[in-house]
Amino acid sequence: MTRSSGDDATDRTDHDEIVVHRFDDGDLRIVQLDPRHAKQCEELELAVFHTIDPSDLYHEHEMLDLYDAFPEGNFVVLDAAADDRVIGMGLGILLEFDFDNPYHGLREIEGDGGIGNHHPDSPWYYGTDISVYPEYRGRGIGKALYEQRKRYVQEANKAGIVAGGVIPGYADHLGLMSADEYVEKVVAGDLYDPTLTFQLENGFRAGPALPDYLHDPTVGNWAVLIVWDNPDWTGAGGTEGRA
């Protein structure tokens, strides 16, 4: 299902938001994605991933499609002290993933309209975006979004989380080493990457570097496969679908 760019969030009937987590400071909360967030979510992603070609990022009408298809697996952080501004989000879809053929691009794996490959019965939660405004970092927001994704995966009895993780630190090493070498050094602790290191600290494991994952010339269009396995998954045979 895709929606023409002329549709907008005003087509939806107002309803109560679904709060899934409140932060200790009282101002921040995580809620399920809602049509009212769509425009601000687009603005957040464009601001955070400013080196990436906008065609690779979500647009407002695609956020609405994501809401229609999978609101329970997409999360937005609101700041009550800033008129409920969207300041962070963690988005994703459910799909089959072939670990024997892991190489893919983001738009390719998302499918038509950013949601075409979403299938509710699929075992893997594919993370398509996680972003937080720079001025809000260091407050545990990113970690809370990762934990909320894991909580959803465990409650829904999915195999785990898979994603193509950006590696912004590779920009300083582009041309000096391969992307796979860079990932190996980050995993070993010899290099620090602001995104991959954080993901490793949050229980993810790194797979191969992914060529042409996004159009981001600062890192030569590279990303890295990351995986989190749900230890409580009770899928058929206990291991079907695992990497």
pTM of this structure: 0.91
Q: For 87-107, what is each residue's pLDDT tens digit? A: 999 999 999 999 999 999 999
**Can you give the pLDDT at residue 42?**
97
- Give the class (CATH, top level) of 17-229: alpha beta
Mean pLDDT for the stretch of residues 116-145:
96
Mean pLDDT for the stretch of residues 140-162:
97
pLDDT at 6 over 90: no
**Can you give the pLDDT at residue 26?**
87
Per-domain boundaries in the chain: 17-229
Residue 52 · residue 215 · CB < 8 Å: yes
In this structure, what token pair is assigned to residue 221? 């269009």
**Can you give the pLDDT at residue 8?**
45
Residues contacting 1, CB < 8 A, separation 6+: 65, 68, 69, 113, 115
In this structure, what token pair is assigned to residue 183? 């990932």
Which strand ranges, in their side-by-side order, compose the sheet holding 28-32?
19-22, 28-32, 75-79, 85-95, 124-132, 160-166, 223-229, 205-210
Which of 167, 160, 152, 91 has its CA nearest to residue 122?
160
CA atoms within 13 A on the CB side of 161: 29
**Can you give the pLDDT at residue 16?**
81
pLDDT at 226 over 90: yes
Q: Is 187 helix (H, G, I), strand (E, B) or coil?
A: helix
Q: What percent of the chain has pLDDT above 90?
A: 88
**Can you give the pLDDT at residue 84?**
96
What is the pLDDT confidence band of residue 199, given thresholds at 50, 70 and 90?
very high
Count the residues in the chain: 243
pLDDT at 222 over 50: yes
CA dist., res. 123 & res. 115, Å (int)? 16
> Could you count the other beta carbons within 10 Å of the beta carbon of residue 203?
14
pLDDT at 242 over 90: no
Mean pLDDT for the stretch of residues 110-139:
96
Mean pLDDT for the stretch of residues 61-82:
97
Q: Over the chain, what is the mean pLDDT?
A: 92
Compute the CA torsion angle 181, 185, 187, 191 (nearest 10 deg).
Answer: -130
**Can you give the pLDDT at residue 25?**
84
Residue 56 · residue 215 · CB < 8 Å: yes
Q: What percent of the chain has pLDDT above 70?
A: 91
pLDDT at 47 over 80: yes
Please classify residue 28 by burial: count the beta carbons closer than 10 Å to its beta carbon, then call 0-12 exposed, 13-18 middle and 19+ buried. Answer: buried
